[in-house]
């Protein structure tokens, strides 16, 4: 079996300590059990494409459905069908939004840095939207495709880059909506249709990607509109939304550092480049090193965050030149894939290689013991079921005799 085959085998079995510690880090035990159950259910029916065989992705669907595994499975399969029906991969790879600059001018929005936890920060100035002009430069269909392409970029590039920069797993966004001047009168039919469609996509197919939404400058007009909009939103999503008036600055600064908050929201950033803060797409995902690492990890097949972290850890490990005990201790704390550990053992002839080989041997032995225990438990369960079947057969025969 090749190194990659061994690694993939372990990656698809997150229940084991080796895959948990080397690939994914430490998970909540109860959540992990639910993820494992959902994964096994999908794998049993051959309904889990490798691209989506990711711990955190499955966890998002479980959280959205209150850890009801059957409902989470149904939601997950609906997502797969939607992606196929709407050709989401083609949108992600091929869709060109030529009217990007024109849309930004009449609909100010965009990503701008990160919050204090390291999550992407997304900002919209809905009160400044020129809807009539927006519908002249684009259409609802094209804007929805643009939104999907941005969601795909966030999942495949922004979250991994933020995770690497923050050195922890990032899979949600903090958002700020400035609704100054927005109300029932200027929320047209086209705007309602676009809002409903985007909300449906985000809630059903990219669940649990919102960390917190701050709606600011909410006047009486918007609050009347908000009562209508809430009807289209999931309860879990509503729980993450704060509606604030004009006294919002201190609340935002609790979540976002002033340097990442534009000056028009009470921060210190002015982004002198053309277009200002909301045209820059500022964040770790624009750092050349992060982009290079993300492209190397994702390529055409879009690897998961776990694989991306492993690749960076691998590059960092190979790049070490000294062999002091201090460096060995530091390196041992980094995440490694099993393939990396085995490669180190194959290529290295020094003491470090022997230590890594011993670690791998111990981990594989532990895996073997765990599988042997599982096999024994399975055998015992089967024997119990056979006994139950025999008892039921006996009861059925007795009932049939009574009927005769």
pLDDT in tens, 344-400: 444 544 555 566 566 667 777 777 877 877 787 788 778 888 888 888 888 888 888
Range list for CATH 1.10.8.20 in the chain: 3-86
pLDDT at 175 over 60: yes
pLDDT at 342 over 80: no
Cα 388 from Cα 383, distance rounded (Å): 9
pLDDT at 75 over 80: yes
Range list for CATH 3.40.525.10 in the chain: 98-301
Cβ contact 280:271 at 8 Å: yes
Between 337 and 38, the more confident residue is 38
DSSP string, 76-91: HHHHHHHHHHTTHHHH
Measured CA to CA in angstroms, residue 11 lies from 1, 16, 268, 303 at distances of: 15, 9, 43, 12
Measure the CA dihedral 144/146/149/151, to 10°: -60
Task: Look up residue 324 and give its DSSP letter.
Answer: -
Task: Look up residue 365 and give its DSSP letter.
Answer: H
CATH number, span 3-86: 1.10.8.20
Q: What percent of the chain has pLDDT over 90?
A: 45
pLDDT at 330 over 90: no
CATH superfamily of 98-301: CRAL-TRIO lipid binding domain (3.40.525.10)
pLDDT at 332 over 60: no
Q: Is the CA virtual torsion 16, 65, 78, 191 positive or negative?
A: negative
pLDDT for the residue numbered 311: 47
Rounded to an integer, the average pLDDT of 225-253 is 90
Measured CA to CA in angstroms, residue 339 lies from 1, 3, 323, 364, 370 at distances of: 11, 5, 21, 12, 20
Total-model pTM? 0.68
pLDDT in tens, 94-140: 999 999 999 999 999 999 999 999 999 999 998 888 888 998 999 99
pLDDT at 319 over 80: no
Cα 52 from Cα 58, distance rounded (Å): 8
Give me the count of residues in the chain: 404
Q: What percent of the chain has pLDDT over 70?
A: 76
Closest CA to 75 of 262, 256, 208: 208
pLDDT in tens, 184-198: 777 777 887 888 899
Rounded to an integer, the average pLDDT of 84-95 is 95
CA 174 to chain centre: 13
Rounded to an integer, the average pLDDT of 301-310 is 47
Place of tokens 């969601």: 151
Of 94-103, 168-177, 232-241, least confident by mean pLDDT is 232-241
Cβ contact 313:21 at 8 Å: no
The mean pLDDT of the chain is 79
Which residues touch 361 (CB under 8 Å, ≥6 apart)? none
Question: What strand order describes the sheet that includes 241-243?
Answer: 109-114, 120-125, 173-178, 210-216, 241-243
Q: How many CB atoms lie within 10 A of CB 235?
A: 8
């Amino acid at each position: 079996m090749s190194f990659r085959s061994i690694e993939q085998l372990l990656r698809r079995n997150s229940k084991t300590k080796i895959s948990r510690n080397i690939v994914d880090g430490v998970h909540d035990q109860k959540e992990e059990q639910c993820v494992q159950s959902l994964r096994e259910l999908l794998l049993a029916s051959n309904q889990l494409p490798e691209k989506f065989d990711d711990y955190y992705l499955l966890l998002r669907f479980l959280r959205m459905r209150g850890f009801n595994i059957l409902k989470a499975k149904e939601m997950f399969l609906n997502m797969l069908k939607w992606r196929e029906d709407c050709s989401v991969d083609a949108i992600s790879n091929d869709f060109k939004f030529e009217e990007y600059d024109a849309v930004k001018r009449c609909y100010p929005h965009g990503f701008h840095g990160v919050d204090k936890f390291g999550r992407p920060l997304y900002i919209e100035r809905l009160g400044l939207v020129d809807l009539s002009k927006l519908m002249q430069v684009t259409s609802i269909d094209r804007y929805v495709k643009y939104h999907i392409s941005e969601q795909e970029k966030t999942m495949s590039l922004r979250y991994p880059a933020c995770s690497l920069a923050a050195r922890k797993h990032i899979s949600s966004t903090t958002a700020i909506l400035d609704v100054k001047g927005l109300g029932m009168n200027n929320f047209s039919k086209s705007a309602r249709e676009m809002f409903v469609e985007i909300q449906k996509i985000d809630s059903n197919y990219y669940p649990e990607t919102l960390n917190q939404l701050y709606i600011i400058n909410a006047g009486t007009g918007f609050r009347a509109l908000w009562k209508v909009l809430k009807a289209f939103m999931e309860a879990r999503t509503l729980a993450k939304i704060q509606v604030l008036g004009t006294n919002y600055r201190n609340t935002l600064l609790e979540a976002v550092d002033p340097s990442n908050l534009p000056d028009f929201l009470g921060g210190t950033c002015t982004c002198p480049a053309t277009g200002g803060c909301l045209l820059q797409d500022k964040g770790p995902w624009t750092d050349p090193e992060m982009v290079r690492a993300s492209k190397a990890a994702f390529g055409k097949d879009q690897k998961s965050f776990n694989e991306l972290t492993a690749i960076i850890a691998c590059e960092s490990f190979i790049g070490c030149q000294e062999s002091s005990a201090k460096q060995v201790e530091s390196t041992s704390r980094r995440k490694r894939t099993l393939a990396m550990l085995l490669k180190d053992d194959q290529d290295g002839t020094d003491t470090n290689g022997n230590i890594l080989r011993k670690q791998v041997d111990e981990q594989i032995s532990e895996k073997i013991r765990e599988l042997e225990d599982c096999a024994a438990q399975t055998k015992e369960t089967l024997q119990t079921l056979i006994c139950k079947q025999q008892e039921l057969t006996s009861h059925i025969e007795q009932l049939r005799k009574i009927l005769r």
